[in-house]
């Protein structure tokens, strides 16, 4: 599973910037934009953090458009054409910025004058790219050894590949740490913690890096986001009382976590569209079949937003335990409460309602359950 996390991490987009007070020289921002292949139309400026919100629109005249406004501090926005699903994301500060792009490759837009965006891209083009460039050969090696999934790896081959992935992870972690330390007085530090370490690192590392940030950065929009993640991590740490939640099952019945008080329960966050989740499901089925009669319960919390796909996946994978969802996707209220940033994620809770383990995968799940129920 460490390979899945690493691969997803290496593909994850990194976001950085600096604080407004260090670079703000203008009263507001001006974006002078140009599409080389769009003469007329409408273009939107959209705030992307949390609820997406179109904050402004501009008419394209002979390929050109302009946005004017003011932000309280550098924030992530998207420029996108009307009717388009995707746009290009950038860090907007109170600067005079020029933008140039083509309709079908807007994500490769060129910005100039955007100092905050330039810092963001420096991480992506340097630290991120350095490790990412080393990934392709490992993928190629894995495909060659498995003949693209047709041949099972020997234990020696698996150990060799695992070591390569671990080395890459360590190298990526080192570069990320160096960047955070070098930018502890800038929003770049907070953003890297939030986008890389919160998702792929440990709660201990998040707390350690957050403490390095200057008070000004800690009090920024993105600094406060990191602090919130620390608070969530503390509430869902091993030894903490599992936060209560309730959602409806596939039949509309409300199920509460507290309904399982007195039993061991595995809260399993997953989704029908999640490949690693579907790959993990047979191990969860095996665990349930072995330990359910001994006292194990499972509650599947789906991050789906389409009930039909959710129900089909439950049936196809033979998941016979209780399943709940509010069908809000990544905004699933239980997932937000537990700070879930990737799926699958799970929490093992004891009869007293305490979290005793989390993120148990494959045989590790079976080993932990065997340890628990053999003692009983």
- Is the pLDDT reported for residue 376 higher than 70? no
Least confident piece of the model among 11-20, 88-97, 297-306, 330-339: 11-20
Residues 180/193, Cβ–Cβ less than 8 Å: yes
- Is the pLDDT reported for residue 292 higher than 60? yes
Mean pLDDT (whole number) for 326-330:
96
Beta bridge partners of 68: 30
**Is residue 357 within a helix (H) or strand (E), and if so which, with residue range?**
strand 355-358
**Is residue 265 within a helix (H) or strand (E), and if so which, with residue range?**
strand 264-270
Q: Find the DSSP H helices in 79-193.
A: 115-123, 129-146, 155-182, 187-192
Among the listed residues 195, 190, 181, the one whose alpha carbon sits nearest the alpha carbon of residue 218:
190
Among the listed residues 220, 212, 214, the one whose alpha carbon sits nearest the alpha carbon of residue 19:
220
Mean pLDDT (whole number) for 365-372:
94
Instruction: Give 36's DSSP letter.
Output: T
Residue identified by tokens 């349930």 is 288
Q: Which CATH superfamily is domain 246-375 in?
A: Glutaredoxin (3.40.30.10)
- Is the pLDDT reported for residue 6 higher than 70? no
pLDDT-derived band of residue 5, with 50, 70 and 90 as boundaries? very low
Q: Mean pLDDT: which of 3-17, 50-64, 119-133 is highest?
A: 50-64
Torsion sign across C-alpha atoms 248, 250, 251, 256: negative
pLDDT-derived band of residue 26, with 50, 70 and 90 as boundaries? low
49 φ, ψ (degrees, to nearest 5)? -90, 115
- Is the pLDDT reported for residue 63 higher than 70? yes
Size (the chain), residues: 376
> DSSP 3-state assignment of 62?
coil
Task: Write out the residue limits of the CATH 3.40.30.10 domain(s) in the chain.
Answer: 246-375
| 0.85 exceeded by pTM | no
Exposure string (b/e) for 41-74, b if CB count within 10 Å is 16 or more? bebbbbbeeeeeeeeeebebeeeebebeeebebb
Per-residue model confidence (pLDDT) at position 375: 65
User: Quick count: other Cβ atoms within 10 Å of Cβ 274?
Assistant: 19
Mean pLDDT (whole number) for 214-230:
94
pLDDT-derived band of residue 17, with 50, 70 and 90 as boundaries? very low
Per-residue model confidence (pLDDT) at position 117: 86
> DSSP 3-state assignment of 252?
coil
Residues 193/226, Cβ–Cβ less than 8 Å: yes
CA 159, CA 143: separation in Å to the nearest integer?
A: 15
Q: What is the mean pLDDT of the chain?
A: 89
**Is residue 21 within a helix (H) or strand (E), and if so which, with residue range?**
helix 20-23
Mean pLDDT (whole number) for 60-68:
97
């Amino acid at each position: 599973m460490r390979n899945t996390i690493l691969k997803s991490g290496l593909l994850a987009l990194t976001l950085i910037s600096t604080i407004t007070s260090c670079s703000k020289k203008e009263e507001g921002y001006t974006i002078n934009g140009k599409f080389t292949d769009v003469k007329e139309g409408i273009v939107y400026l959209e705030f992307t953090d949390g609820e997406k919100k179109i904050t402004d629109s501009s008419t394209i005249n002979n390929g050109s458009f302009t946005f004017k406004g003011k932000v309280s501090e550098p924030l992530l926005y998207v420029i996108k054409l009307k009717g388009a699903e995707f746009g290009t994301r950038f860090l907007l500060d109170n600067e005079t910025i020029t933008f140039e792009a083509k309709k079908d490759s807007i994500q490769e837009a060129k910005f100039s004058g955007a100092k905050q965006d330039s810092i963001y891209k420096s991480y992506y083009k340097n630290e991120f790219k350095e490790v990412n460039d080393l990934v392709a050969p490992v993928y190629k090696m894995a495909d060659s050894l498995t003949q693209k999934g047709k041949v099972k790896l020997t234990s020696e081959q698996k150990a060799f590949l695992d070591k390569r992935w671990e080395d890459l992870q360590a190298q990526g972690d080192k570069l990320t740490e160096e960047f955070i330390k070098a930018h502890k007085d800038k929003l770049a530090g907070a953003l890297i913690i939030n986008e890389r370490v919160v998702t792929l690192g440990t709660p201990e590392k998040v707390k350690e890096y957050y403490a390095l940030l200057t008070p000004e950065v800690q009090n920024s929009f993105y600094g406060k986001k990191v602090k919130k993640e620390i608070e969530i991590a503390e509430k869902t740490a091993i030894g903490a009382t599992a936060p209560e939640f309730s959602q409806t099952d596939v039949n509309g019945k409300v199920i509460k976590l507290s309904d399982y008080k007195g039993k061991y329960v595995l809260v399993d966050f997953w989704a029908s569209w999640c490949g690693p989740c579907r790959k993990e499901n047979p191990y969860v089925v095996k665990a349930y079949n072995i330990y359910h009669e001994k006292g194990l319960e499972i509650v599947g919390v789906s991050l789906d937003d389409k009930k039909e796909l959710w129900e089909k996946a439950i049936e196809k994978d033979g998941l016979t335990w209780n399943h709940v969802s509010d069908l809000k996707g990544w905004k699933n209220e239980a997932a937000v409460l537990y700070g879930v940033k990737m799926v699958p994620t799970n929490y093992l809770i004891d009869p007293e309602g305490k979290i005793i383990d989390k993120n148990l995968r494959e045989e590790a799940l079976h080993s932990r359950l065997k340890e628990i129920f053999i003692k009983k």
